[in-house]
Structure 1
Amino acid sequence: MNIFWNTSLIALSVIVAVAGSFTALAHAARMRHAQGSTSIAWMVSGGITLGMAIWSMHFVGMLAFHLPIPLSYDLPLTLLSAVPAMAAALLGFYVLRTPAVSNTRIFLAGLFMGAGISSMHYIGMAALKMSPAITYNPGIYALSIFIAIAASWIALLMMFRGEQIKLPEYVRFALGSLVMGLAISGMHYTSMQGVTISPGSVCMGGAVHIDSPALAIIVSLVSLLWFGGGILAASFDQRLARHNALALSQLQHLHSTLEKSANDAAASMLHDLSESEKKMRSVVEGALDCIVMMDEKGSLVEFNPAAERTFGYKREEVIGRNFADVIIPFASRKAHREGFERFGKTGQSTMLGKRIELNAMHANGREFPVELAITAFDWTGSRMMVGFLRDITERKKAEFEINNLAFYDPLTKLPNRRLLRERLESMLDMEVAYKTYSAILFIDLDNFKTLNDTRGHDIGDLLLMEVAERLKSCVRSEDTVARLGGDEFVVILEYLSGDIEQATIQAEVVGEKVRKVLGQPYLIQDFDHYSTPSIGISMFHSQEMTVDELLKRADTAMYQAKQAGRNTLRFFDPAMQAELEARAALEDDLRFALESGQLKLLLQMQVNELNQIIGAEALIRWEHPEQGLIYPSQFVPFAEESLLILPIGQWVLETACAQLMEWQNNPVTQDLSLAINVSARQFRQANFVEQIQSTLAKFDISPHKLKLELTESLVFDNIADSIRKMRELRAIGINFAMDDFGTGYASLIYLKSLPLSQIKIDRSFVRDIAVDRDDEIIVQTIISMAHNLGLEVIAEGVETVAQLEFLRKSGCKAFQGHLFSKPVSQAEFNKLISQSVNSNDRFPSITYSPLALWT
């Protein structure tokens, strides 16, 4: 049977297919750009649109198909034919929803869509019920299906792989839509070419009769309107998507900027944190102090290298272990754990913010002192504690040594003066409560200086150490034995009887025990030594006196024991104390006298056998504002002891040199000499010779006019040193006189070695020469010996003419005494010189009378 075609409707069907394909592919593109329910909506819309495009194209294409007989279609089957097209399109689009579309997925989608196109076509053809039935050419049948699948696949490739051949998106859409539309229409019209309808066939369809071009146009218009609406919707969505994409892009850019900034800030913070952690780690690891960190249960979470060195553990050995089990000694662990439990419950600890000292334990079990400071802080929601520990073993040793140096004598290890005073002060406070007497024994070793001078200080130190041990053996454990210095010791006897008489007896018993024990022989190195003590005892009770007063009383009592012949003990005597206090007051006055000009230098003339004044002796006097004139015998001894004799001696020397300088400038007195007495301490100064030389140079006087008078005891105490100094001064012209000759223990062997110019006969021999035969012989012997040694002789204390005549007959040629003049001031002496001037004599002459002496 012949088939006729309406070419206009054929063209319209192709347009419908292309337009529908474009719309469906546009929906597919929106599907891929959307997410969630929106993506599903676009997928369903695209599937339905593509199904309608296939169905509409088939519907219009069938209207373009004409046979010589009337045609009608089965309506349910015609409508049903749209279902496989839509289902295949939905399935294809579903396959293409994934973000990454592989070639396999594109092929499967093309396969589904081609199958849908083919299914829809042949189901639609089945709605045309012909009798006999329509037959198909198998080759063309297969070709039609192939065209549907291949064209669909090519269309999808164009859509999803078009960017690989650098095609713009709208070109890819147009080409894809064209290929997809040709696939739909090509499959339809290829299939129709293989249709065979037998002549005489009759259409057996239902009542639906489709044979109007107007209907084709209506269907096409409806479809195109649908497609147009879909395209507009897709375009609007795309524009909205572009707007959203732009906004999203801006947000993403802002987000990216903020993220970059945040990342940079985070990176900077991480870097800072890393650097801070490195610095903190460096500080922790480089710290000299031990740093340990504990959690609220006391488990260690940090243990720095200093802690490893101090406690003998490796860090990995102790992390996680309890702090108490690692560092705290066994005896203290219970208290430590209780403190941590209290801290865990209350967040408070009595150890926070304090530096405490306690014992720690080394890994080997050795305990040693440490200083500990603990702080607490919150870290990751937990309460942490950090302990800073320092080994103070060396500091404790140093403190112990400092304490010993401060309070103990380094030689004997006995308490020193400072600790003794502290204990005495404490006792004086406590005596009020105890109502008992105590005693203080002041002990001085007799002739200790002799041992030092003859055997050396090392031997003296050995004796002092032995004395300390013997003293400790004589007293109770509660008593105190201390060393004040030198060879002076103090014993404090505490808690004696409440009755003064009984307490005194108890103190005397201990004192006698000490005297006997210390008096026993000492074996020092390789020789025996005998030493005795002088002991002074002072009883005391409550706060009736100060520590200084108490020590002064005991020292006074010891001085009384010395006065009593040594190797004895004496209790404090108030009369002796008063005498010593007066002596001390006089010493203070003497110090002031030197500064205020109360000391005076008097001159007593010396004459020769012709009654000519040849010089004078300078004699010091103290004009006390309250006590009047004080003689040297009353103040020189304690001036020697207090070393005030040194400035006094220098004052005498300078005053004498000033007088010689005055005499030297006067023709009448230029030949006079002046003698001054030199004390032992002054002469023993290492720079004594230099002092004399500098003083002579200061006043620019002739050295031979100055005469230094030395006593026998001074010279022979250290004969070698005396000879050396005397020769040095004699070499520059200084003259020496041996004062008080005959009263000491001068050795004739050394006497001839001394560079003396004069011997002075002591007044004790001169006084009785007129009545005592022994004194006459002594004086004559001294004069004869001096002449034989080539020395001048001067006699002092000449008060009578008889004494003078005897001395002259015995060969003495120089005299000094009240017969000629008493000691007078320098002004009075110079006046006497002026009155006695005889122009014919070298020296001023004097006249004397037994009844009228010079005053």
Structure 2
Amino acid sequence: MADDATLNSLVTAAAAELMAATAANSAAISQRVLTLLVEALGQDFGFLRHNDHKIGATVLIAEFPPRNADPDPIGVVYFGDADSVFAAAEHLKEPAVMRPDRDHADYQRTIVQGTGVPSVSIATVPLLSGEVTTGVLAFGKYGDREWFAEELEALQTIATLFAQLQARIVADQQLRWLAEHDDMTGLLNRRTLIAQLDQRLAPGMPGPVSVVFFDVDRLEAINDVFGQDAGNRFILTFATVLREAADFPAAIARFGGDEFAVLPHAPMDAQSIFTLALGIHRQLQTQVRSRSYLFARTVSVGVATGVPGEDNASVLLSRLDLATQSAKKAGGARVVAFSPQMAMKKAIRNEVELRLEEPDASNDLVLHYLPEVDMRTGAVVGTEALMRWRHPSLGLLMPDAFIDVAESTILAEKLGRLVVRAACAQVAQWRDQGLADNPTLRINVSAMELVDEGVVERVAATLDEFGIQPSTLCLEITERVVIADIETTQKTLNAFKDIGVQIAIDDFGTGYSAFEYLTSLPIDALKIDRGFIRDLKRDPKRLAVVRSILGLADAFGLDAVAEGVETVDDAKALLELGCRRAQGFLFSRPLSGMQMGALFAQRFVGVEFLRD
């Protein structure tokens, strides 16, 4: 028997080691403490095992002397198949000692002959967490060995320390799991995915590193109609389907809200990841039932790759965002791979936004004018003011490079006011120079301008200031602008009509409620979108659309203007359908104010080629 001093020193030494242990070094410290105990107690072997009650097994944590078996046949022992020693460990609550029976014939033969498996004396001490047995600490000696109460009491104290370490490790693992995973779906979370991306993109790591990003289209519609619980059920179902679809080694994460990402463990080039993304996308047909209604959402998918040592997580995520947004802008339910052009366009938008916020940004505004022609005679009957913006470093920018940026800031209304004022000043100059007498002036109006308080009064004041008849001004709005705020738009347009300003629907036919606009809004003209004009004679479907639009215009007593006329055949086809007025490069490209004035003075453009 070990004396009291030895037992006290063992408990003290074990406590010092185990109380300072962490999840990272617990295996090494457990092995060290077990070795100390086996040697100090004069045992032949010892082991520490933890119980996994979820799978019904005992798992080896440390042993001495180590057997170095790979795989270890007793690394995991299921209680249902275990021998008496291991089976007893499942619910052991008090220390147990197993000693050989000296009167048993096998014991006597072993001692006398030195053959067979030696009988063993084993002391087993439970690790307890409340009423649950979480593991065992055991020591054995070949032959007989009597265990005393003081020794078992010391081992129980040490077992308690092992149990406390085990509980700390479990708690630490749970906290780490919660910190690394999304609590709703159990997938990895945003922070963990970013950390993995940074590791994968470190210099020297294999690449390329590729990611597929998923953004559920219009999930908010489910939340609005069926409530947040229905939306959550959809997210859970989607996460399950995504796990099944991504059936290869990969990190799968819920990036936030309705966004998910898949990071394959293996390096993949751009073509391979795009092909893989297409395959996953085809499988993401997610449906959820709520209140006897079955609903489904499509998914916009972005794909991007990064090179270790050259890119980082932030760069790769920015590429993914650009690709996914491109998929959404294209209507959703598709896969889009990142391209350098996307990054270039984003850089331009960022620079434009910074420039727009500068006090003197309005000085860079430039207006060009696109003539409107009567195709029967070639008469120049009007012009459309086209906004351009001269950027200090990027040069002359078209509206699609800056209008969206302006509308996302407070400058959209300001730019609108500047365009109306500059265009009216130009018309007054043409009039005063005797170049044009009250020509039709068309100006595009954004959604932000139509909901701007006082816009009608400001336009009226500008027309009065420059002595321009309100009936010569035609404000052009797209169907997208109308649906942005139909009620306010209707009030504003009626107010414009009250002061005599004309209204036209631009890009007519590209929206979804065209007929409704004709009956509910004070419209004077329809502008046929250029997409319907191209190859008009050779495309029966486009021909039918244009014929229908012209029929609507005639039925409602509206003017019709064709946009984007570029070929003689298209112009002739329009004339045959009864469309007289048009714009397009066939007649003229956009002109400066001086050039447009000269064209007004000329009064006509040549259209002899249309009479052949």
CA shift digits 1:682-723 (9 cap, x unpaired): 416783464454465477556544322223455467766654
Contact 2:270 2:304 in 1 (8 A): no
Contact 1:438 1:503 in 2 (8 A): no
| CA distance in 1: counterparts of 2:281 and 2:288, whole angstroms | 14
Which position in structure 1 is the counterpart of 2:552? 785
Aligned residues of 1:535 and 1:561 also touching (Cα < 8 A): yes
Residue aligning to 2:287: 521
User: Over residues 514-564 of structure 1, what are the superposed CA-to-partner deviations in whole Å (9 max), with x where a residue is unaligned?
Assistant: 657743422345422223445455566864531212323444665787799
Structure 1 segment 652-663 matched on structure 2, within 5 A: 652-661=416-425, 663=427
Residue 748 of structure 1 is matched in structure 2 by 515
Residue 847 of structure 1 aligns with an amino acid whose one-letter code is F
Q: Name 1:822's counterpart in structure 2.
A: 589
Q: Deviations over 1:485-523 (max 9, x none)?
A: 453223445xx46xx4799999988x7896577434223
For 1:688 and 1:802, the matched residues in 2 are separated by: 42
In structure 2, C-alpha distance between the alignment counterparts of 1:507 and 1:421, rounded to whole Å:
21
Give the CA deviation at 1:731: 3.9
Q: Residues 295-374 of structure 1: matches in 2 within 5 Å?
A: none
2:582 counterpart of 1:582:
no
Q: 1:773 to 1:546 in 2, by over 3 A?
A: closer
Aligned counterpart, 1:709: 476
Q: How many angstroms does 1:826 deviate by?
A: 1.9
**Could you give the per-residue CA deviations for residues 575-609 of structure 1, whole angstroms, max 9, x where no partner exists?**
x4322222223324544675385552111233567
Look up the match of 1:551. Answer: 317
Report 1:3-402 matches (<5 A): none
**Structure 1 residue 756: Cα displacement:** 0.2
Among 226, 230, 238, the residue aligned to 1:467: 238
Mapping of residues 357-756 of structure 1, within 5 Å: 417-418=190-191, 420-422=193-195, 424-425=197-198, 440-446=211-217, 448=219, 451=222, 459-460=230-231, 462-468=233-239, 481-492=252-263, 496=265, 500=267, 515=281, 518-536=284-302, 543-555=309-321, 576-591=338-353, 595=361, 599-606=365-372, 614-621=381-388, 631-632=398-399, 635-636=400-401, 639-640=403-404, 643=407, 647=411, 650-661=414-425, 663-664=427-428, 666=431, 671-678=438-445, 682-683=446-447, 687-688=451-452, 690-691=454-455, 693-694=457-458, 696-697=460-461, 704-712=471-479, 714-715=481-482, 722-742=489-509, 745=512, 747-756=514-523
For 1:852 and 1:537, locate their aligned partners in 2 and report how far apart those are by CA, in whole Å.
Answer: 50
User: What is residue 173 of structure 1 aligned with on the other side?
Assistant: none
Following superposition, the deviation at residue 441 of structure 1 comes to 3.6
Give the conservation status (yes or no) of the 8 Å contact 2:372–2:383: yes
- Counterpart residue identity of residue 655, structure 1: V
Q: Is the 8 A contact 2:301 2:327 kept in 1?
A: yes
User: Once the two structures are superposed, what CA deviation does each residue of 1:366-415 show, in whole Å capped at 9, x if it has no partner?
Assistant: xxxxxxxxxxxxxxxxxxxxxxxxxxxxxxxxxxxxx9999987987876
Q: What SS does the aligned partner of 1:583 have?
A: helix
Counterpart-to-counterpart distance in 1, 2:397 and 2:343 = 18
Find the aligned partners of 1:766 and 1:444 in 2 and give their Cα distance: 35
State the alpha-carbon separation in 2 of the partners of residues 743 and 507 from structure 1: 31
- For residues 207 and 574 of structure 2, the distance between their equivalents in structure 1, rounded to whole angstroms, comes to 69
Which amino acid is the alignment partner of residue 478 of structure 2?
T
Q: Is the 8 A contact 1:593 1:599 kept in 2?
A: no
Tell me which residue corresponds to 1:284.
none
Q: Distance in 1 between matches of 2:304 and 2:545?
A: 49
CA contact under 8 A between 2:306 and 2:312: conserved in structure 1?
no
Are the aligned partners of 2:241 and 2:284 in contact in 1 as well (CA < 8 Å)?
A: yes
Deviation at 1:786, TM superposition (A): 2.0
Q: Which residue of 1 aligns with 2:604?
A: 847
**CA shift in 2, pair 1:461/1:730, >3 Å:** farther
Q: 1:530 to 1:596 in 2, by over 3 A?
A: same
- Following superposition, the deviation at residue 651 of structure 1 comes to 1.8
Q: How far 1:791 sits from its partner (Å)?
A: 1.8
Opposite residue 421 of structure 1, the aligned amino acid is I
- Structure 2 residue ranges without an equivalent (≥5): 1-11, 20-129, 131-175
Aligned position for 2:527: 760
Secondary structure of 1:793's aligned partner: strand
Give me the whole-angstrom Cα distance separating, in 2, the residues matched to 1:789 and 1:688.
Answer: 29
More strand by percentage: 2
Question: Are the structure 2 counterparts of residues 501 and 631 from structure 1 closer, same or farther at C-alpha, using a change threshold of 3 Å?
Answer: closer
Tell me, in whole angstroms, the C-alpha distance in 2 between the residues paired with 1:832 and 1:436.
Answer: 60
- Write the letter of the residue equivalent to 1:444: D
Residue-by-residue CA offset, 1:802-829 (whole Å, 9 max, x unaligned): 9878867876564545576432112332
Alpha-carbon distance between aligned partners in 2 of 1:699 and 1:458, rounded to the nearest angstrom: 54
Q: Which has the higher helix share?
A: 1
Contact 2:238 2:286 in 1 (8 A): no
Q: Provide closer, same or farther for how the CA distance between residues 581 and 414 of structure 1 changes in structure 2, counting only shifts above 3 A.
A: same
Per-residue CA distance 1:162-189 (angstroms, 9 max, x = gap)? xxxxxxxxxxxxxxxxxxxxxxxxxxxx
**SS at structure 1 position matched to 2:346:** helix
Q: 1:697 to 1:771 in 2, by over 3 A?
A: same
2:141 matched residue in structure 1: none
Q: CA deviation at 1:474?
A: 7.8
| Letter paired with 2:348 | L
8 Å CA contact 2:438, 2:472 repeated in 1 = yes
Rounded Cα–Cα distance in structure 2 between residues aligned with 1:486 and 1:547: 20
Within 2, Cα distance between the matches of 1:747 and 1:564? 21
> Alpha carbons of 1:502 and 1:740: their partners in 2 closer, same or farther (altered >3 Å)?
closer
In structure 2, how many angstroms separate the alpha carbons of the residues matched to 1:507 and 1:809? 47
Structure 2 length-normalised TM: 0.53
**Could you tell me how far apart the structure 2 residues matched to 1:801 and 1:672 are?**
25
TM-score, normalising length from structure 1? 0.40
Provide Cα deviations, 1:77-102, integer angstroms capped at 9, x if missing partner: xxxxxxxxxxxxxxxxxxxxxxxxxx
2:382 touches 2:440 (CA, 8 Å); kept in 1?
A: yes
Q: Output the CA distance in 2 between the equivalents of 1:732 and 1:620.
A: 25
1:218-273 Cα deviation digits (max 9, x unpaired): xxxxxxxxxxxxxxxxxxxxxxxxxxxxxxxxxxxxxxxxxxxxxxxxxxxxxxxx
Could you tell me how far apart the structure 1 residues matched to 2:540 and 2:243 are?
Answer: 59
Moved more, 413-422 or 799-808: 799-808
1:6-31 C-alpha deviation (Å, 9 max, x unpaired): xxxxxxxxxxxxxxxxxxxxxxxxxx
SS of match in other structure, 1:740: strand
SS at match of 2:523: coil
SS of structure 2 residue aligned to 1:519: coil
Q: How far apart are residue 737 of structure 1 and its match?
A: 0.7
Distance in 2 (CA, whole Å) between partners of 1:537 and 1:484 is: 15
Contact 1:658 1:699 in 2 (8 A): no
**Structure 1 residues not aligned, in runs of 5+:** 1-330, 339-364, 366-402, 837-845
Displacement of 1:757 in angstroms is 0.9
**Over aligned residue pairs, what C-alpha RMSD do you find?**
5.8
Contact 1:587–1:639 under 8 Å retained in 2: no
Once the 2 structures are TM-superposed, how far is the Cα of residue 739 of structure 1 from its aligned partner? 2.1
Amino acid in structure 2 at the alignment position of 1:829: M
